[in-house]
Amino acid sequence: MKKLIALTLCFLSYFTFASEYVKVRADLLFITNTNVESGKLCFGDSECTTYSTFYLFNAKVHNVILGDVMDGSFKVIYGQHALIEQDINDVVLTLKELDENNQFGALYQVVSIE
């Protein structure tokens, strides 16, 4: 019985992940640095500085690994400290869908790159 409960919980967590995120293998083609803050570094209560900004990429999808996402290409944003302004080829991306009216014109935000 314990194994059945454990397996059920594993499957439920998988489906929860699947409903919120998609995973694809793709190339990221650099478009621009948006200069919009994606991360902040603070020292104390009030002394803060921009740690990272969002970059806009065109994602060219090779294949969908998990979830429902259109094939082809679409815009994504990704914000990480010390990210080089260049293309990133043949990576596995975990993506989270963005609101349609976001300021970047992107469909997804890159949550992680493998």
Q: Which residues contact 104 (CB under 8 A, 6 or more apart)?
A: 34, 36, 54, 56, 75, 77, 98
How far, in Å, CA of 38 to CA of 29, rounded? Answer: 19
The secondary structure of residue 60, as a DSSP letter, is E
**If the chain, 114 residues long, is cut into consecutive pieces of 10 residues, what is the mean pLDDT of each piece?**
53 53 97 94 90 96 91 92 92 96 95 95
In angstroms, the Cα distances linking 53 to 4, 17, 72 are: 45, 26, 26
pTM for this predicted structure: 0.80
How many CB atoms are closer than 10 A to CB 94? 20
